[in-house]
Amino acid sequence: DQQVKQNSPSLSVQEGRISILNCDYTNSMFDYFLWYKKYPAEGPTFLISISSIKDKNEDGRFTVFLNKSAKHLSLHIVPSQPGDSAVYFCAARNRDDKIIFGKGTRLHILP
């Protein structure tokens, strides 16, 4: 039973354009959502998060949107840069502080 779903295994975006990564979840008890970025042979690195009581959080080029009624969140990266090429994991925290991850979306930024 996958509680956090990233349905796009990969995404290619032209440099300078907007990258939109999507994520759906099933558990309405999640209270916090996060995005992590991962390069090969490294551990995931925290990118941005959002509390379940908010619908938007912005940090520089990165914005996360949360639609609780649809159980959907998205990460927007604008403008996309070559260094953004990585695997992005959507994650959700449940009430006992455990984080559950999606399978990830590999983002390719094209020159």
Partner 1 sequence: DTGVSQDPRHKITKRGQNVTFRCDPISEHNRLYWYRQTLGQGPEFLTYFQNEAQLEKSRLLSDRFSAERPKGSFSTLEIQRTEQGDSAMYLCASTFLGAGGYTFGSGTRLTVV
Task: Write out the residues near partner 1 by the rule CB under 8 A.
Answer: 4, 6, 9, 32, 34, 36, 41-46, 49, 89, 91, 93, 96-104
Give the nearest distance from C-beta 42 to partner 1 in angstroms: 5
Q: Measured between alpha carbons, how far is 52 from 60 in angstroms, rounded to an integer?
A: 21
DSSP 3: S
Question: 16: which residues sit within 8 A by CB, 6+ positions away?
Answer: 79, 80
CB 45 within 8 A of CB 37: yes
Give the nearest distance from C-beta 17 to partner 1 in angstroms: 26
- For partner 1, give the closer residue by CB, 92 or 109: 92
Give the nearest distance from C-beta 6 to partner 1 in angstroms: 8
Q: What does the block give as tokens for 8?
A: 């796009």
- For partner 1, give the closer residue by CB, 13 or 47: 47
